[in-house]
Chains A and B, each alone.
Chain A
């Protein structure tokens, strides 16, 4: 098995200290980038690596960077460390344990796009990560990796940690920027995209924590090295946060394209209590559900779409045979109804409506025409809103009805949840 990239140093004691980090090869990539490479060469190298955004959408990272106008006087690099997607907990571990890896990646990114201000936007609740990052930033300033004239190159960069609201929607790129500006977290109209008019209407790169943490390794080892890992279109490794009914619930870093079976049965130690697998949500709660029959699907952007879902954030939620799918989906829908920002009509009203219907079905008051109604509401929400929250709310519902329609119908017919014993 291939060695790890992001988690390579994660278990070294004291790696969160800058000296230990440097001793283990840290900030080597920064030196290489700043002293030996031009900004465009950095972008080119990242282009060669084929790195795609790890936040969920999988947009090519170099492409996003190259949209930043070269001549803009003020630009920003923002790290999206909100990590609100249910079932995802990878960024937190990266920040808690190896904060310098992220900071190094952000300095290189800022250098590549010509930004002099970088912001790590962390949700307030990640108190330890915030503490770690702030300490690491101080160390980086002391070593001269941040501030004026970094390593004698004349390049200057300031980086701060911003404690952002805990709301789920604040992880949406434009809502995150709104919150940075001190406004209420609500997605903006796109276009203009953040790369043209982002933070304070200035060109802004917003990347996910995991994406940025990959940058030092790509610079150090070359884009070609990174591209050789994983599949041709989904390169490198991916951290999968496995939760639910498995024996080992934790983050696993695996090359892109690893079979789902390997992740669940080898890495996570299989299903708890020797039970049978029922369903998997492979990319955080906003992607379509897969049934046990997809166990041999591969974990990369393309294969997951082929299997009928999405790689998303890599939050793998595993459900065993004892789980009531209606109950699970009702739970997620409640989350989306509570976390909808309330701006777009279909999302604000639709998530609440869906939650009420699903709750009713689970509680034994389902009606015969509820299923077509749910599907129609979902259709009326999908693709009709500013951001992807409504799509994320609809995806698990629609897919679970497609895969487990019988279970929904049993709820309606028997007027009770079949998993909760006799009514």
Chain B
């Protein structure tokens, strides 16, 4: 049987691959068919009836979104019958639609508006009273529903059911009175709720925060990336008069598949809050006084070099961040290792994992997000993907829907557990014991005998890996705790030896932070010893007297247990550059205002080692400077000026010095990113 079929659309000879719908075939050939309920990522429902076409031999018009292209089919998308039906559907859609386009958020980028302009009737024959609903309805914390504008395409409900798997939206009532609503007893609080605003073909679903703020044609769209998690979803940052007003998705099928989580979509709204740093602050007698960069940096340089002179350069420590750009971290590392000449330099919170990550990446391939789609088996060790990398959770759910097997090894039940073929739970904080015992189980020939002292269900694990050995193409997602344990390398090797040969076996590290992979690359370049943990040990012991933090907040929730606040009190001098007056910054002698990710440019590396470019979309807050600019200015104060005037220059220098970055150019990265070597 051939995989392609031949058909005609409006008399044009067309080849299509089997299984594609007429609507998709037509779209591929540039033959326009209007639609509302159809969405390429949702299952077709044939509800709006906008995409009706005539198929020769079929008495009724057919919805082109639901019928598959067949051999010999003759389709008409524009004959008299179809044109009349289209006009009719638009007339039906508009009779009760409020037509409040002049004040509607969607106006200007509204499929209903656009389709009406192209295909619709120019007058309405409707003289009755329009159907009225009270409005708006609050569906959840972020989304408002205008039921009068809704055209019942069901995309939002289908998104919740089919993509997010949260089942938070449903229908109420029948006939003309039908309406969308949150499922009884629930609110629409899914972390993906914002996507429904984007897929809504009318202005029915609006964002509480963006509502009535701007018109689309006044917005400037900057293609950028989200930096909230290690996935780096591609976004458009839409700003008006240099003020960022909303973030929308910019589909990159290899990264985000066109979706965003609410943290990424709405997270920027907190950036201009009360706590945001506007000007440099210098502490005098325990109280912060507003200062200038010039004075503050002079003060810092003085303190740093004074300390280095008095106690040796290693008494000065510096920690960059997994949230900063590569350029920030690079110039930061350069300054502290080459100018201050300290060996106590790190970038972020988890450089220890390098000791296992590098050997691991020699054993099996550092994977690609897109490979998940082709994986027959996905193993997740430790990381709660739904919380750490939300949009990746959507991809995994889709994979499971398409038949991929999923197994989760975690200390508790996580959201994806419901999708897993097998979930094996171990005790809290016992990853090392789990790795050790799992290795034992995997080396057995016969099923183990269960024992009370087992830290997890050994029999289930044995059985699972026996069955899983048939799976082809495997991706392992490995969390931070697992990557910290040296046993992970041999465990992965052991698992690999059990698996069917022929397919690919890959891993992806799941580490907190928007640019953790980049931070690790910097650490690898500037020297693997003296990690953040060692630095804090040095502070406790009194060996380190001065600390400079760039975008790193050790007291932040989740990290605080590792890096105690007490140690920071022991320092003679602490300088912090950040965007907020964080708990850590409050302890500092000097605080410098840095720019947020919406205000600056630079490169980020995501968990699959894809390097992507961040682009500024709004003006800097207060007198804040980019992290690298602050360091460049600091180098001037140290009389060892770096002659970088732009982020591109730093990038060029970086790609010449760091092997992993070699041959990378700004052009190569483009809008979709490119992979590191």
A pairs with B: yes
Chain A residues close to B by CB (< 8 Å): 167, 169, 184, 186, 189, 337-346, 348-353, 356-357, 360, 373, 380, 383-386
> CB-CB < 8 A to B49: which residues of A?
344-346, 384-385
In chain B, positions 512-537 with a C-beta closer than 8 Å to chain A are: none
Q: With contacts A189-B45, A344-B47 known, is A384 near B88, CB below 8 A?
A: yes
> CB-CB < 8 A to A356: which residues of B?
128-129
In chain B, positions 158-209 with a C-beta closer than 8 Å to chain A are: 170-171, 173-178
CB pair A339 B175 closer than 8 Å: yes
How far apart are the CA atoms of A373 and B123 in the complex, in Å? 14
CB pair B174 A167 closer than 8 Å: yes
CB pair A345 B47 closer than 8 Å: yes
Closest to B90 in A: A345
- Counting CB contacts under 8 A, is B356 at the interface? no
**Of the residues A186, A346, A352, contact of B88 by C-beta under 8 Å:** A346
- Counting CB contacts under 8 A, is B66 at the interface? yes
> CB-CB < 8 A to B66: which residues of A?
189
How far apart are the CA atoms of A339 and B95 in the complex, in Å? 19
How far apart are the CA atoms of A346 and B88 in the complex, in Å? 8
Shortest A340–chain B CB gap in Å is: 4
- Counting CB contacts under 8 A, is B85 at the interface? yes
CB pair A357 B52 closer than 8 Å: no
Q: Beta-carbon contacts of B48-74 to A below 8 Å, as 1s and 0s?
A: 111010000001110100100000000
Most buried by B among A337, A349, A350, A385: A349
- Counting CB contacts under 8 A, is B93 at the interface? yes
Shortest A394–chain B CB gap in Å is: 13
How far apart are the CA atoms of A273 and B83 in the complex, in Å? 51
CB pair A351 B175 closer than 8 Å: yes
- Name 18 A/B residue pairs within 8 A (Cβ), A-sorted: A184-B170, A186-B171, A339-B175, A342-B175, A342-B177, A342-B178, A343-B152, A344-B47, A345-B152, A346-B89, A348-B92, A350-B92, A351-B176, A352-B131, A352-B176, A356-B128, A386-B46, A386-B47
How far apart are the CA atoms of A344 and B51 in the complex, in Å? 12
- Counting CB contacts under 8 A, is B133 at the interface? no
Shortest A281–chain B CB gap in Å is: 21
Shortest A187–chain B CB gap in Å is: 9
How far apart are the CA atoms of A339 and B174 in the complex, in Å? 6
**Of the residues B52, B85, B176, contact of A349 by C-beta under 8 Å:** B176
Shortest A171–chain B CB gap in Å is: 14
> CB-CB < 8 A to A350: which residues of B?
92
- Counting CB contacts under 8 A, is B126 at the interface? yes
- Counting CB contacts under 8 A, is B44 at the interface? yes
Shortest A177–chain B CB gap in Å is: 15
CB pair A342 B173 closer than 8 Å: yes
Q: Beta-carbon contacts of B453-493 to A below 8 Å, as 1s and 0s?
A: 00000000000000000000000000000000000000000
**Of the residues A186, A338, A360, A384, contact of B85 by C-beta under 8 Å:** A384
> CB-CB < 8 A to B175: which residues of A?
337-342, 348, 351-352
How far apart are the CA atoms of A351 and B63 in the complex, in Å? 20
Closest to B128 in A: A356
Shortest A183–chain B CB gap in Å is: 10
How far apart are the CA atoms of A259 and B100 in the complex, in Å? 57
Q: With contacts A189-B44, A342-B178, A373-B125 known, is A348 near B170, CB below 8 A?
A: no
Shortest B362–chain A CB gap in Å is: 45
Shortest A399–chain B CB gap in Å is: 19
Shortest B347–chain A CB gap in Å is: 51
Classify the secondary structure of A's interface with B. Answer: helix
Most buried by A among B47, B60, B66, B95: B47
CB pair A348 B45 closer than 8 Å: no
Most buried by A among B49, B61, B131, B152: B49
CB pair A345 B60 closer than 8 Å: no
How far apart are the CA atoms of A167 and B177 in the complex, in Å? 14
In chain B, positions 575-613 with a C-beta closer than 8 Å to chain A are: none
Most buried by A among B89, B92, B125, B170: B92
> CB-CB < 8 A to A386: which residues of B?
46-47
Shortest A56–chain B CB gap in Å is: 17
**Of the residues B47, B61, B154, B170, contact of A383 by C-beta under 8 Å:** B61
**Of the residues B47, B128, B131, B176, contact of A357 by C-beta under 8 Å:** B128
Shortest B565–chain A CB gap in Å is: 52
> CB-CB < 8 A to B154: which residues of A?
343
CB pair B176 A345 closer than 8 Å: no
How far apart are the CA atoms of A195 and B159 in the complex, in Å? 28
How far apart are the CA atoms of A342 and B44 in the complex, in Å? 16
Closest to B47 in A: A343
CB pair A342 B128 closer than 8 Å: no
> CB-CB < 8 A to A340: which residues of B?
174-176
Closest to A348 in B: B176
Closest to B173 in A: A342
CB pair A169 B92 closer than 8 Å: no
> CB-CB < 8 A to B84: which residues of A?
380
**Of the residues A342, A353, A373, contact of B171 by C-beta under 8 Å:** A342
How far apart are the CA atoms of A145 and B177 in the complex, in Å? 46
Shortest A12–chain B CB gap in Å is: 41
Shortest B331–chain A CB gap in Å is: 57
Closest to B44 in A: A189
How far apart are the CA atoms of A353 and B171 in the complex, in Å? 21
CB pair A345 B174 closer than 8 Å: no
10 extra interchain contacts, Cβ-Cβ under 8 A, other than A345-B93, A348-B92, A353-B126? A169-B174, A189-B46, A338-B174, A339-B175, A342-B177, A344-B46, A344-B49, A346-B92, A351-B175, A373-B125
> CB-CB < 8 A to A353: which residues of B?
92, 95, 126, 128
> CB-CB < 8 A to B6: which residues of A?
none
Closest to B126 in A: A353
Q: With contacts A346-B88, A352-B176 known, is A383 near B152, CB below 8 A?
A: no
Q: With contacts A184-B170, A383-B59, A383-B61 known, is A349 near B92, CB below 8 A?
A: yes
Shortest B392–chain A CB gap in Å is: 28
- Counting CB contacts under 8 A, is B96 at the interface? yes
For the complex of A and B, 10 pairs with smallest distance between CB atoms: A342-B178, A380-B88, A349-B92, A352-B176, A383-B60, A356-B128, A340-B175, A189-B46, A189-B66, A343-B47
CB pair B152 A348 closer than 8 Å: yes
- Counting CB contacts under 8 A, is B151 at the interface? yes
> CB-CB < 8 A to B63: which residues of A?
189
> CB-CB < 8 A to A383: which residues of B?
59-61
Q: Beta-carbon contacts of B37-48 to A below 8 Å, as 1s and 0s?
A: 000000011111
How far apart are the CA atoms of A290 and B44 in the complex, in Å? 39
Shortest A134–chain B CB gap in Å is: 28
Shortest A338–chain B CB gap in Å is: 5
How far apart are the CA atoms of A373 and B93 in the complex, in Å? 17
> CB-CB < 8 A to A346: which residues of B?
49, 88-89, 92
> CB-CB < 8 A to B125: which residues of A?
373
How far apart are the CA atoms of A343 and B154 in the complex, in Å? 8
How far apart are the CA atoms of A337 and B96 in the complex, in Å? 14
Q: With contacts A342-B152, A346-B88, A357-B128 known, is A384 near B46, CB below 8 A?
A: no
Q: With contacts A184-B171, A384-B52 known, is A349 near B178, CB below 8 A?
A: no
> CB-CB < 8 A to A343: which residues of B?
45, 47, 152, 154
Shortest B521–chain A CB gap in Å is: 48
Closest to A360 in B: B128
How far apart are the CA atoms of A145 and B15 in the complex, in Å? 55
How far apart are the CA atoms of A349 and B130 in the complex, in Å? 11
